[in-house]
Structure 1
Amino acid sequence: MANQVLVTQLGIKLDLARDDLDHPGMTGLWDRLYERDRQLGAMRVPVSERGLQCAGVCLDAGVVAWMYLRERGGQRQAVHERAEDEARHAAPISDEHKAYQERIIATAEAEGYPAGSEVRTPIGSGRWIQTDTLVQGEDGLRIGWEVQLSTAARKGPRSVRNRASKARTHGITPAWHTDREDYSRRSDTQWTFSNRLPARVIAKSGGLRVVSGYRVLDFWRCDITADLPCPDGPGRCWKPHATPKPRDVLFDDLVRKTAAGLIVPLEYWSGSRMQRFWLPADERARYYDAFGVPAPQDADEEQRSERGSKAGPTCRPRVVLTSTGRVLDWRDPSHWSISAGACRYCRQPTNLVDDFGVHMHKVCHEAALNADAA
């Protein structure tokens, strides 16, 4: 879209940012032009024959770009007929952005992986996905690099979340890189972050370091020997956990190994909060073996319903203690066995054991003791 429109029949330019279109003496000018354009559209007159041209960036570039008029949400808009003409109005790609694109391509191609910039991937019905830099990796793997050094939308069809989700849906693994530290804390995709550097440094073949977005997992059991606190609450749960730990990685290695499938993305839940990051493929496989493969998530904590309550559920049942029977204290670690066995009473598997090491559920044993007492 554009704010400057040339009406070729009248030889005047319109400024859509002004209420009077910059023609105060021509009352009702917009209404007349808009109604005429709608009528021509209804008669299937091509946009190129309606006499409206972009008088902004396109005209300055010596390009004839035809437009049509519309109203959206009470706003007057002039829309380019062709998407490439509208794209001409976008902010020019910075030297730093170009340097990153060139470095990704050079690194990938040096490893034998084809790569290209501003690649359009057809997705049917005349639509496509345009990727900053697309790397064709091992076994059909496609890594879609998006270098985001300017403001990135959080909501809407052009938001990072939507664009990353769209890429994943059509077989492209999104890889977003930035030099803005605040983006590295977002969870709408797997962000990687490097310090802000000039284009000449980014273009060098030296060690460009990624300082955020790549991690390894520390696998541990939550018992009395653990150094880390239990992530699920106070005390010890005696369950396995995996804690992500930040690691630096060279940008070139990240490009190579994501294409080779040796570094992969992970969606990691910590309580109710999701984290998205990259990690070695063997560690993701171990994580999935231990905790299962999570269901795909397109929404994170920041994108959940704005009307949803952050408080706990109000339907939580109230527990009323009416029994005065015997209650056992099995909080000591000696009542937990690493290997499971059949409960003495119900024969269902359990890791709990009594004072003599016999497998049984605490509630089953309490019920038996209280039944004997009765």
Structure 2
Amino acid sequence: MANGVWHTGYGIEINLSLPDLGHPYRPDLLREITASVSERDPQLLECLAHHDKRECLSESGGKSPWMFIRRGRVGGRRPLIASHLPITHKATPEESAQHKATKERVVATAGRYGLDADAEVPVANRRSVSDAVVTGPAGLRVGWEIQYHHLSPSSVHRRSVNAVENGITPLWVAKDRMASLIDRAPWARVDDMPWRDIADGKEMVIRGGYRHLEVWRCVASSERHCLVSEGAGHCGAIHADWFVPALCLPERKPVLIEDLVLRSATGESVPVYVPGRGSGRAGRHMWVSAADRALWEEIVDEKTPLPTAPADEDDDVITFAEQEIDRSCRAGEDGWFASDARPLRDLAQPTGGFTLPRLPPQRPGDATRITPVERAAASAALGCPPWELGLCAGCRQMMRRYGLNAAMYCNVCRAALNGR
């Protein structure tokens, strides 16, 4: 892995293993060399071996002597690595066929639903092109980005921000659970299917990227574990968290790609960003129902917009080993190594959720102390409309007090009374 590169603009040698890159008086140098190749001179960075007129392995391996900078992965470290640019980037024939079939399926699906859809749509400033743009009846535009080969996180972010700035909601499609686009922008993952199956209309399930909100009261009778207590304890609070359809209780029907084409364009399904809550992740992007997002925003009492700047995750922080520059050409080592595989990014586990503290005991006449947020969460957790909520005559906790099948005491108090 190359840890050095020649800067053709400044005529300097850059040591990527040093925090100041070997040039303390150039504070913007890191930003300049890590910029997207599309935003700078492709021949700005050169292989040191090629610059020194020594053997450059890229010349016989389908690569160019010009380079780009990426973050590598060596054990738990994230060093900067100089990699050779391909002479031309071409997806494999299978990837190209899958890409084309998926794009055509999205456009055809939109047409069957009476939605406007176009393929290969340039955004207003023509800096990027969406594979397909589907327009809903209210003018909502969703830009489908079919990405079946590796793309750098910075490119995902740049293209997503570009889409949003031009009134398009990005929707990235991946087939790999390790795809770097996952949780960098609104996304969906499908199976790695032969292109003929995609073109023939075989069921195409959204395996990741779509979730449902579940809210529950953390009591002994709950089927779910407590989010805050260790072991099998129950805290009595109300929890809310996001689950993939297969892990919902009861299990939800899987979402198909046709469902997402329609729902995303009509606004029935919307993107949401849930910031990390102490798990070491920057946060989760997901598609959810509009009703679930509204309830979540009411429960957490905030609206978190989609990030407009990339948030560094803990495992993305650059590591500087402060080594001597290796001037050998490392063109054959540009790829990912089996021992340093990309991490699994599509995780089916819950997000960490949100917990409302257990309501304090209430006295008669204190109902005004229950906040709208607590009332909304209790309504969702107990499965009843807000007007059927009331306080248990025993412990004064929120319960279903009015309406059909209502009671004066909660299950815990009834069990204690029956045990006397």
Tell me if both proteins adopt one fold, taking TM over 0.5 as the criterion. Answer: yes
- Of 177, 181, 204, the match for 2:177: 181
- Of 96, 99, 102, the match for 2:101: 99
Q: Residues 357 and 200 (structure 1 numbering): CA distance in 2 closer, same or farther, change over 3 Å? A: closer
Counterpart of 2:110? 108
Structure 1: distance between partners of 2:194 and 2:118: 22
Paired letter, 1:117: A
Contact 1:267-1:276 within 8 A present in 2 as well: yes
Counterpart of 2:317? 306
Structure 2: distance between partners of 1:69 and 1:307: 23
Contact 1:147-1:178 within 8 A present in 2 as well: yes
- Of 228, 239, 242, the match for 1:241: 239
Written as runs of structure 1 = structure 2, the 5 A alignment for 1:160-175 is 160-175=156-171
Aligned identity (percent) is 27
Structure 1: distance between partners of 2:275 and 2:185: 14
Paired letter, 2:271: P
Counterpart of 2:265? 259
Structure 1: distance between partners of 2:104 and 2:214: 35
Written as runs of structure 1 = structure 2, the 5 A alignment for 1:110-129 is 110-123=112-125, 127-129=126-128
Structure 2: distance between partners of 1:184 and 1:338: 53
Deviation sequence 1:188-232 (CA, Å, 0-9, x none): 122211211111100112422122221111112345654434434
Deviation sequence 1:7-33 (CA, Å, 0-9, x none): xxxxxxxxxxxx9xxxxxxxxxxx9xx
> Shift of residue 144 of structure 1?
0.7
Written as runs of structure 1 = structure 2, the 5 A alignment for 1:195-210 is 195-210=191-206
Structure 1: distance between partners of 2:133 and 2:207: 23
> Shift of residue 103 of structure 1?
0.3
Counterpart of 1:268? 274
Contact 1:138-1:261 within 8 A present in 2 as well: no
Q: Which runs of 5+ in 1 are unaligned?
A: 1-18, 20-30, 32-67, 79-86, 309-332, 360-374
Contact 2:217-2:238 within 8 A present in 1 as well: yes
Structure 1: distance between partners of 2:203 and 2:242: 24
> Shift of residue 71 of structure 1?
4.2
For residue 160 of structure 2, give the secondary structure of its aligned residue in structure 1. helix
Structure 2: distance between partners of 1:339 and 1:216: 36
For residue 282 of structure 1, give the secondary structure of its aligned residue in structure 2. helix
> Shift of residue 233 of structure 1?
5.0
> Shift of residue 177 of structure 1?
0.9
RMSD: 4.2
Q: Residues 148 and 95 (structure 1 numbering): CA distance in 2 closer, same or farther, change over 3 Å? A: same
Task: Answer yes or no: is 1:150 the counterpart of 2:149.
Answer: yes
> Shift of residue 161 of structure 1?
2.6
Counterpart of 1:290? 299
Paired letter, 1:147: I
TM-score (norm 2): 0.50
Deviation sequence 1:136-162 (CA, Å, 0-9, x none): 1231211111111101112x3x2x233
Contact 1:187-1:300 within 8 A present in 2 as well: no
Q: Residues 222 and 169 (structure 1 numbering): CA distance in 2 closer, same or farther, change over 3 Å? A: farther
Instruction: Say which one has the larger Rg.
Output: 1
> Shift of residue 268 of structure 1?
2.0
Contact 1:101-1:117 within 8 A present in 2 as well: yes
Q: Which has the higher strand share?
A: 1
Point out the more displaced range, 275-284 or 221-230: 221-230
